Amino acid sequence: MELKRQYSRRNFLKVSGLLAGFMAIPSSVKAFYQDVKQYLIPKKNVSRLTLSINKKSHTLYVDTRTTLLDLFREQLNLTGSKKGCDHGQCGACTIHINGERALSCLTLAAMAQGKEITTIEGLANGDELHPMQKAFIECDGFQCGYCTPGQIMSAVACVNEGHTGSVEEIKEYMSGNLCRCGAYNGIVQSIQKVAAQ
């Protein structure tokens, strides 16, 4: 008799109702999460940009929060600039803006309109390598190659800025670029070689 009371139709309906209620919670929680997300996180503000990259004009629709590095790698398939630290500390993403070195991971794409941007892909003249690229090959200025695009872009700027008077000066003006392989001697020799030309 006790067993029949425990497993009655009424208890079955109660337990079934509770289980059905629990199954409904995930969808209501998800809807609540979406509402909170839309309230707290602003929607993407997409703007139309026309950028001159490697002497080519590109018209793009991008989120106003997009950095040049993400734009190069994700929308233009220019993967030479590397995402090392994404905090402006390693120099792997170095590019030139109007001939001056800049960290593309810290530069918003919207800030670069009307400026000439050069990435490692635009440094060579067709199939003819830039003298700094040749020097890096000849002086073994790279090992794994991950930091090499940023090193070369900084090295070109270092020569153009006239900071090649001594090894110490070169090291000072290249200090924003890190090489985990420790190819610094080859990098300095490459810069000296190009500066002497």
Per the structure, the complete domain to which residue 164 belongs is given by 131-196
Fill in the DSSP letter of residue 49: E
Q: Same structural domain for residues 103 and 141?
A: no
Q: Same structural domain for residues 109 and 135?
A: no
Q: How far apart are alpha carbons 132 and 158 in whole angstroms?
A: 11
pLDDT at 103 over 50: yes
Number of folded domains that form the chain: 2
pLDDT at 1: 43
* Percent of the chain whose pLDDT exceeds 70: 91
pLDDT at 6: 63
Question: Would you say residue 88 lies in a domain?
Answer: yes
Question: Would you say residue 75 lies in a domain?
Answer: yes
Q: pLDDT band for position 89 (50/70/90)?
A: very high
Q: Same structural domain for residues 116 and 142?
A: no
Q: Same structural domain for residues 106 and 56?
A: yes
Question: Would you say residue 191 lies in a domain?
Answer: yes
Nearest C-alpha neighbor of 88 from the set 104, 77, 73, 72? 104
Q: Which of 4-18, 49-63, 96-110, 164-178 has the lowest mean pLDDT?
A: 4-18
Question: Average of pLDDT values for 178-183?
Answer: 93
Question: Would you say residue 189 lies in a domain?
Answer: yes
Fill in the DSSP letter of residue 72: I
Name the domain boundary from 104, 122, 140: 122
Question: Would you say residue 39 lies in a domain?
Answer: no
Q: Same structural domain for residues 115 and 156?
A: no
Q: Same structural domain for residues 146 and 108?
A: no
pLDDT at 7 over 90: no
pTM (predicted TM-score): 0.78
Q: pLDDT band for position 35 (50/70/90)?
A: confident
Q: Are 93 and 150 in contact (CB under 8 A)?
A: yes
Average pLDDT, the chain: 90
CA distance to 24, 128, 170, per residue, from 89 (Å): 48, 31, 18
Q: Same structural domain for residues 114 and 139?
A: no
